[in-house]
Chains A and B, each alone.
Chain A
Amino acid sequence: MWELIRSNKRKTWLLFIGMGMLLLATGYILGEAYLPQGGGFTGLFLALMIWAFWSLIGYFKGDSMLLALSRAKEVSHNIHPQLFNVVEEMKIAANLPVLPKIYIIAEDAPNAFATGRKPEKSAIAVTAGLLNQLNRTELQGVIAHEMSHILNRDILYMTYAGIMLGSIVLISEVFLRSLWFSGSSSRRFSSRRSDKGGGGAIAMVAIVLAILAPILSRIFYFTISRKREYLADASAARLSRYPEGLASALEKISSTRLSFSRANSITAPMFIINPLKKQRSSLTGLFSTHPPVQERIKILQNMSRGVNFVNYQSAYQMVTGKGIMPASGLKDSETRPIRKPTGEVSEPASSPIKKRELGDLMRVMNGFVFLICLCGLKLKLPSGFKQSSITCPRCKRSIRTPLAEMAALSGVAAAGSLSARKKRKAMQDAPVTESQKKPETIPYQRRSSGWETMNCTCGNPIQLSPALLETTIHCNQCGRGIKIRRS
């Protein structure tokens, strides 16, 4: 396994150095064309500066930027226990030192990505639509794929390669536009031709390079990306021991008509399936970030004998006629049998139950509180709900809302006039200093004997199980004790 990662690293470095050379060459020649005396080195220097600056930002802030761009929200265990459990299982299988942070994106389109410059600081983000459409084994396949990206250090390479691509595109764009817009440029070039013979030739080379370099680097970038996807599929099959799970997940994800709106061409390779375009003909294959989904599915389905890398290699050969695994991966001779299928069936995503579940998941993420009335009706209150009681629309019972109760207790009721978001923030900030002095206990009266969600005074939603036996639980965010009275 480690041997494979190392060889994977070597090959990536080659492509990587190729891109770096291209970046430096572009910087040098464009600089030379712009300013013949020593301009080459200025260009080289500028290219390096842009690259270094972005790399630093990418290294330290890349993950949080990507998560913020896709509006991912970090969630706690009680919001989606199954997702947490599946990630934990894969963490054990991958022998990762810490559990990656888990994010959910409130989007209908099923997709997922992993981020983080090293396994200790990694995060996995999935869309709500993914959770809604896939069953447990399929979700496991997707998480195994993302975990493989973390394990193989793919994210760091893709971030750096993306930054190089971005720098090359930027430099070429600036150069071409400056030619286009400044009327004096043609005169500059012609005058240069008179004092220095090679000036015109350099200008020509520069223009050609400015057009070709972005294309070339895109090909480099997407070549790395596609290779990484295959390797992540292979590792995912090996980790989960169930290639069929990932195959059927890919099938479901690719057949969806919903599109993921918060992605762009640089972040696209991070996702499990290209979020931007439908797969097109093989002519554009050079420029696609992901291998054709049908091919990925076929390879995974052809792994009938086992799930180690050798099995993936032979399945790959069967489908494409070529090889993908580096030689070191083929030393993986230990047989790894495929797990038995669990015979799970899942409701189609279009069913009303699934749609309601999806809505509820998004609401819980946004701090909604669910109250279950004694008549069985589920009331969904937004986090900014201020009234202390609400009338059940079905049975006309008056129900006290926990939010008002909590707000009155912690004395942040004054913040009630603020917007919901500010209020949540105030709730999060205020009690922390209080609880440092003494861990207080707050009372909570249960509304029903079924499942219900309550909000702690710090704003953390807590799911109460009907079988909860303890009378005091602790909020896992602020550590406050919550004393529960049964209904």
Chain B
Amino acid sequence: MGLVLLVFLGIIVVAIMWIVGIYNSLVRLRNQVKNAWSQIDVQLKRRHDLIPNLIETAKGYMKHERETLQNLTEARSRAMGADSIGEKIKAEGQLSEAMGKFFVVVENYPDLKASQNFLALQEELSTTENRIAYSRQGYNDQVLFLNNKIQMFPSSIIAGMFHFKEEEFFEIEDIKEKEVPQVDFS
């Protein structure tokens, strides 16, 4: 009788340890996703900081492109105001689009393109775009790990019990946007 009880207790202890293990790995993955997102956030903020400088530089040369500059400014403030990750992804996509349009317009202003200041800003912007791209890849990798764990069988039960939610991928939706991050005109 005692033996059966012991075996029973043993099974319960093992089961609890197993649940704790899966729970902890889920928490770890969720934190890694958060950390990866904060990496992207740093770069997005960098981009937001660069845009006023860019507009300031371009203003002198682009007298007749008020609309383009206005769009860029608005897209920037929308992106800065976005709260949730989903909103941010959308707003940043729009900002990328506005920047793409801006750089198409720049092609018509050879003086601006040749100015030292603009070249330096362009380097800063292209590195920011690259950094966003690389940190986005890291974020998506982490999200994939988390979502797999949440969807796959035994861990899906525990994830359901403790309300772990799947995270969104940071994808570029539009083909037009896909071309945008390359701001290299050199």
Residues of A within 8 A of B (CB): 81-82, 85-86, 88-89, 92-93, 95, 135-136, 340, 342-345, 450-451, 465-467, 469
Contact = CB atoms under 8 A, between A and B. Distances in A.
Given A340-B182, A344-B184, A467-B53, A85 B138 contact: no
Contact of B126 (A92, A136, A343, A451): A136
A85 B124 contact: yes
26 contacts: A85-B123, A85-B124, A85-B130, A86-B127, A88-B127, A88-B131, A89-B127, A89-B134, A92-B131, A92-B135, A93-B137, A136-B126, A340-B179, A340-B182, A342-B182, A344-B184, A450-B116, A451-B120, A465-B117, A465-B120, A466-B116, A467-B53, A467-B57, A467-B121, A469-B53, A469-B56
A467 B186 contact: no
Contacts of B57: 467
Interface SS of chain B: helix, strand, loop or mixed? helix
A81 B124 contact: yes
Contacts of B115: 466
A159 B62 CA distance: 55
Contacts of A340: 179, 182
B156 interface: no
B39 interface: yes
A342 B116 contact: no
A450 B57 CA distance: 13
A343 B137 CA distance: 23
A85 B125 CA distance: 10
Contacts of A86: 127
Interface SS of chain A: helix, strand, loop or mixed? loop
A93 B116 CA distance: 29
Contact of A467 (B56, B130, B135): B56
A386 B5 CA distance: 92
B169 to A, nearest CB: 14
A342 B184 contact: yes
Contacts of B53: 467, 469
Contacts of A81: 120, 123-124
B117 A467 contact: yes
Contacts, number: 54
Interface of B: 39, 43, 53, 56-57, 115-117, 120-121, 123-124, 126-127, 130-131, 134-135, 137-138, 179, 182, 184, 186
A113 B123 CA distance: 24
Contacts of A343: 184
A89 B128 CA distance: 8
Contact of B138 (A82, A92, A136, A342): A92
Given A450-B116, A451-B116, A465-B117, A89 B131 contact: yes
Most buried by B among A82, A92, A451, A466: A92
Contacts of A342: 182, 184
Contacts of A136: 126, 184, 186
A132 to B, nearest CB: 14
A469 B137 CA distance: 34
A93 B132 CA distance: 10
Contact of B127 (A85, A95, A450, A465): A85
B175 to A, nearest CB: 12
Contacts of B138: 92-93, 95
A465 B134 CA distance: 28
Contacts of B124: 81, 85
CB-based closest 9 A-B pairs = A85-B127, A93-B134, A342-B184, A467-B117, A92-B134, A466-B117, A89-B130, A451-B116, A467-B57
A88 B137 CA distance: 15
Contacts of A135: 186
Nearest to A94: B134
A84 B80 CA distance: 26
Contacts of A93: 134, 137-138
A312 to B, nearest CB: 18
Contacts of B127: 82, 85-86, 88-89
A469 B138 CA distance: 35
Given A86-B127, A92-B131, A450-B116, 17 more contacts: A82-B123, A85-B124, A85-B127, A89-B127, A92-B138, A93-B134, A93-B138, A136-B126, A136-B184, A340-B182, A344-B184, A451-B116, A451-B120, A467-B57, A467-B117, A469-B53, A469-B56
A92 B182 contact: no
Contacts of A89: 127, 130-131, 134
Nearest to A339: B133
Contacts of A450: 116
Nearest to B183: A342
A88 B134 CA distance: 11
Contacts of B121: 467
A208 B32 CA distance: 57
B33 to A, nearest CB: 14
Contacts of B39: 92
B51 to A, nearest CB: 13
Contacts of B126: 136
Nearest to B121: A467
Nearest to A85: B127
Most buried by B among A95, A466, A467, A469: A467
A355 B51 CA distance: 33
A340 B178 CA distance: 10
